[in-house]
Amino acid sequence: MRMILALVAAGLVLLAGCAQEGSNVPVEKRCSQDSDCACGKNAAGDCFYGNRNYVNAEEQCPDFCTGIAAMFEIKCVENECRQVRV
């Protein structure tokens, strides 16, 4: 019985270690570094910031992306593209 409990405990530890960092972040917002993030328009044509694979950076939304006073940047924070004040 103890052997079974030990195996179950070891399995849980292994599974916990396999959880991908940032996996609770939606894929369109997920990143690992700042260069993974962009701001522009998404496929629906809405202003959007997130993973560069889901952003058309050619179509800019200046007030949305950087703020009226250019006080924001899009950064990768805790594996999520976020708008941060600079």
Measured CA to CA, the distance from residue 46 to residue 18 in angstroms comes to: 35
CB 81 within 8 Å of CB 29: yes
Give tens-digit pLDDT for 12-51: 433 344 445 557 999 999 999 999 999 999 999 999 999 9
Give tens-digit pLDDT for 61-74: 989 999 999 999 99
User: How many domains would you assign to the chain?
Assistant: 1
Task: Examine residue 9 and state whether it is found in any structural domain, yes or no.
Answer: no
Task: Examine residue 12 and state whether it is found in any structural domain, yes or no.
Answer: no
CB 35 within 8 Å of CB 74: no
Q: What is the pTM of this model?
A: 0.72
CA atoms within 13 A on the CB side of 84: 12
Q: What is the domain range of residue 58?
A: 25-85
Helix (H, G, I), strand (E, B) or coil at 50: strand
